[in-house]
Amino acid sequence: MTKLTDLTTKCSPNWCPGCGNLAIWGAFKNAAVQKGWDNSNTAIVAGIGCHGHIINFTRITSFEGLHGRSIPVATGIKIANHKLNVFAFTGDGDCLGEGGNHFIHACRRNHNINIIIHDNAIYGLTTGQTSPTSPHGYKSKSTPQGNPDYPLNPLALAIASGATFVARGYAGDIQGTADLIVKASEHQGVSILDILQPCVTFNKELNHTFYQKNSYKLDQNHDVKNKEIAFKKALEWGEKQIPLGVFYETDEPAYESQLPQIANNPLIDNNPERKNLTDLFDEFT
C-alpha cells in the first residue's frame, strides 16, 4: 500500500506556479498510490530539463542522468531487473532532440518500460528556445523571426517506429493523465505517453486555455488495434482537433520476455561467480 504522503520528500517542487509539470507529478503520484508503486518495486529515471526535477520531489528510487539519455539508462535498469516498474521521464527537447535516436530505437525494441514525455514544445530550463515540437512560425528567443522548422510528431514517430503502446494526455487533466500512466504501466512492452504540458512562463501560445479549447478525448469506439487509424489520428492537430487517449496498443512479446537468461529470475540474481571455466577455455585450445 502506497499512501500519497509516502511519496513526498524534503524538497518542495520548484516549478513555476501553474507549470504543467506539477500536474504530471500529481498524476504520477496518484497512479503510484493506485498501483502500489514504492521503493520495493519501482525505479524512475529522468533526463535533463524542467521535467527532470521530478526526482527530487518523489520518494521513489531514481536516477537522474544526462540530457537526452533517460531511455538507455531505463533500458539498462529493466534488463538488469525486469521485476521493477521502470519509468523514464523525459521532455520534448530531451527525448526528441538530444535523445531522438534512443527514442526511435526504444520504440522498435519493445522493452517493457514506460516513456513519459513532458511535452511543452519549448526549452523551459534554458529560458525559452524553440524545441522539436514547437509549431512552425513560433517566435522564441532562438527564433525571433518565427520558427522556420516544422514540428516533429511524437505519436506518429512512435507508431512508425514500432511502439506497441502510444498515448497522449493533457497535463491539466490530472485524473485522465493518471489513468493513462496506469494503462501505460499495465501494457507489456514499450509504452509511449506524450503529455501536453503548458509552459506558463515561456510558451504563451500553447497554454492551458489552448489545450482545453482544442483537445478532445478519443471516443470509446476508437480501434486501438488498428495501426492505420491510429496513425491517421496521430496526424490530427489544430482547432478542436487534438485527440487525447490511447491511440494504439498491440500485443508483441516484450524484449525481456525473450531472454532465456532471465526467464526464471532477474539478471541481478544470476550468480556472477564463475569459478570453473575449464570447458570454456578448452574451446580456445
Binding site for another protein (CB under 8 A): 9-11, 39-43, 45, 48, 53, 55-56, 59-66, 69, 71-81, 83-84, 101-102, 105, 259-262, 267-268, 270-275, 277-278, 280-282, 284-285
Nearer to another protein, 102 or 168 (CB): 102
Q: What own/partner pairs with CB < 8 Å and gap ≥ 24 does 64-70 have?
A: 67/93, 67/94, 67/98, 67/99, 68/94, 68/95, 68/97, 68/98, 68/99, 68/100, 68/102, 69/98, 69/99, 69/102, 70/45, 70/46, 70/94, 70/95, 70/99
Nearer to another protein, 1 or 280 (CB): 280
Nearer to another protein, 48 or 193 (CB): 48
For 165, phi and psi rounded to 5 degrees?
-145, 120
> Residue 146 — left, alpha, or beta (φ > 0 → left; ψ -120 to 50 → alpha)?
left
Question: Least distance from C-beta 41 to another protein, angstroms?
Answer: 6
Nearer to another protein, 8 or 175 (CB): 8
Question: Least distance from C-beta 146 to another protein, angstroms?
Answer: 32
Nearer to another protein, 56 or 257 (CB): 56
Question: Least distance from C-beta 56 to another protein, angstroms?
Answer: 5
Count CB atoms within 10 A of the CB of residue 123: 26
Question: Least distance from C-beta 128 to another protein, angstroms?
Answer: 21
- One-letter amino acid for residue 226 of the chain: N
Question: Least distance from C-beta 120 to another protein, angstroms?
Answer: 20
Nearer to another protein, 79 or 157 (CB): 79
Hunting for cell 513526498 — which residue is that?
Answer: 8
Q: C-alpha angle with apex 120: 117 to 126, nearest 5 degrees?
A: 105
Question: Least distance from C-beta 106 to another protein, angstroms?
Answer: 9
> Residue 240 — left, alpha, or beta (φ > 0 → left; ψ -120 to 50 → alpha)?
left
Question: Least distance from C-beta 116 to another protein, angstroms?
Answer: 16
Nearer to another protein, 29 or 69 (CB): 69
> What sign results for the dihedral spanned by CA atoms 7, 169, 192, 98?
negative
CA–CA dist 212, 214 (Å, integer): 6
